[in-house]
Each structure stands twice: as C-alpha cells, then as structure tokens.
Amino acid sequence: MYTVCLDAYTVFPAGHNRWAAFSDITDIEVYDRTSPEQIVERACNADAILTNKVVIDERVMSDLPKLRYIGVLATGYNVVDVDAARRRGICVTNIPSYSTMSVAQQVFALLLAAVNSAETYASRNREGEWSACADFSYRIGEWHELAGHTFGIVGFGNIGKAVARIAEAFGMKVALYTSKKQEELPPGYVKMELDELFAQSDVLSLHCPLTPETHNLVDSRRLALMKPSAIVINTSRGPVVDEHALAAALNCRTIAAAGLDVLSREPADAENPLLTARNCYITPHIAWASAEARERLFSLALSNLRAFAVGKPENVVGA
C-alpha cells in the first residue's frame, strides 16, 4: 500500500520521526502542505490519503483511480465529499474525541484571560507600572469570581460535558441548550431554551456542530438578549457566530467580552472586525492542538489505517 499525507505540518511536520510509525503497514510520502493544484500530482499513485484541511472532492477523486482510503486527521470531515467517496467505494475515516480535554482547557484559558486580565497586568508591569505604583497593589478595573455565576453551554457532547465539569469545579451554575431531556442531565444542570440561555448566562460557551441551523446562531438579536457583563466563548466553528454582530456588540458594550479560537475564515482575514474589537481575545485555532491531543490523533490515525489494511476499518464516516 502507498499512502500520501497531504498536510502533515499541523500534526507533525514532514521529517518528524513520528511518521516512521506508518512504515510497517504502508509506504508513505509526507508533505507539510499541499495546494489544490498539487493534490493529483502528489497522490496520483496513492491507495490511501491522509488529510487534515486539504479538500478531497469528487473532481479530485475522479483523477485518483487507485484511491481506496481517505483518513481525515480531525474529527470534522467536511473536507471530504463523503457521498462521492461512498459511490466510488472509498473508505473515509475520522478521529473522534481526541481533543476533548485540550479544547475544554482552552475554553477556560480564554475565559480567564477576559476575567482576570493576567496578560494585561504582566504587559503593563514589564513597562514598569507596578514599580512606579505608590501602593502594594493596584487594579486596572473590577474583576469578579466565577463562583455563583451561570455558565451556559450550547451543545452537550463530549466537549460540552468536560467544560461543564470544569465550570462546576469553579462553583458555577451550569445551564444547557441540548436535545437531551432534563431528567437525562446531571443533578443541578438546568435545560433552557436557546433565547433563555442567552439571557440568563454570565458566560456562554459554544460546543455545537456547524449546520444550517447553527450558522450565525450568535446574531445581533440574541446578543441583545445578553447581560452587559456577559462573555461569549467559541471553540466550535467560526460561522456559528455572526462576526460583524459580535464585534458591534463588544464595541457598543452590549456584552463585556468574547474569547474565540475559531473564525469564519482561517487564517484570519485581516479585515475581520473581531481582530480589533474591544475585549476580544482570539487564539489561532489551537484549542485542539495540545501535545497530548496531537499524539492521540496520530495514534488513532495509525490505528485507523492499520484496521483498514486488514479489512476491518474503524471510525468509518457514515457507516
């Protein structure tokens, strides 16, 4: 079997010795990045492809007659035309649940950046502000404990559940928008309708998939329902948020702050209004990418290909 990894860089760059682990099941060629124009040239003889963000659509598949396997190096598999792959007898797999704790941790890194202002204090103190202070302590502004406040979660899958547990540990009250019934939820968790969740939450964290129903779920109408002290966190998918509406809400003080690890276009469009919005804390889609999460992803990618090679594929999309 011959395998081509099209965009290895975000997991382990080409030349990293981890890719040698595939050599017992396949010959493998590894590329850091692959443009759309390079896919067919690089994978024309491939039995298997590994991809993270490189799009494999029906046109590409039609030019790769030997292709029998596509391993997506992520949980989301929207980069592959799964229906076209099925028609062509191409197996598509993904990597489920590898980054749950990594993403949950980033939610609270973003939240604490907004609440505790540690980065702002550190920056000012490097410039000598504390050294010039007449008192042993000074405050840029008020900050508040998380305990006792309401942490709203949209979506209650693996990541939503992990985030809820951490919120509980901070002493917060957990409220949910979920398809699950109230009696199916852990004790103390409260199910709410979506608009009610926006109105009641002190922190609102998004953990839903991107679907036509969730596109621009956070819009100007729902933002207007929120408390002026509220904070929005998005580590799900960028288009779940109407970015112009959120930037306006931040700049007009409709809400207090936002923490985002995802945007509608990535890398970030230089004109995105959130890049310069007031109290907006943005990280470059790194919530998934802790060292531990990337090791789990890599191990599962290896396991998926090995299972396919022996005729017992695992984590098959749409099976």
Identify the sign of the CA torsion 258, 264, 267, 268: negative
Q: Which residue has the tokens 């007449």?
A: 134
Q: Edge-to-edge strands of the sheet including 69-72? A: 27-30, 2-5, 48-51, 69-72, 91-93
Residue 237 is a catalytic residue? yes
E strands, the chain, in order: 2-5, 27-30, 48-51, 69-72, 91-93, 150-154, 173-177, 190-191, 203-206, 231-234, 257-260, 280-282
207, 237, 294, 296: the active-site residue: 237
Count of Cβ atoms closer than 10 Å to residue 197 Cβ: 23
Pick the catalytic residue: 145, 266, 278, 292?
Answer: 266
Classify the C-alpha dihedral 144-146-147-149 as positive or negative: positive
Q: Which of 158, 124, 153, 164 is nearest to 141 (CA)?
A: 124
Long-range contacts of 269-278 (CB under 8 A, 24+ apart): 272/243, 273/243, 273/244, 273/247, 273/248, 274/243, 274/246, 274/247, 274/250, 277/246, 277/247, 277/250, 277/251, 278/250, 278/251, 278/253
Catalytic pick among 88, 215, 244, 285: 285
SS3 174: strand
What are the angstrom distances between the C-alpha of 272 and each of 71, 173, 265, 275, 289?
Answer: 32, 33, 9, 6, 23
Instruction: Determine whether 285 is an active site residue.
Output: yes
Q: Which residues are catalytic?
A: 237, 266, 285
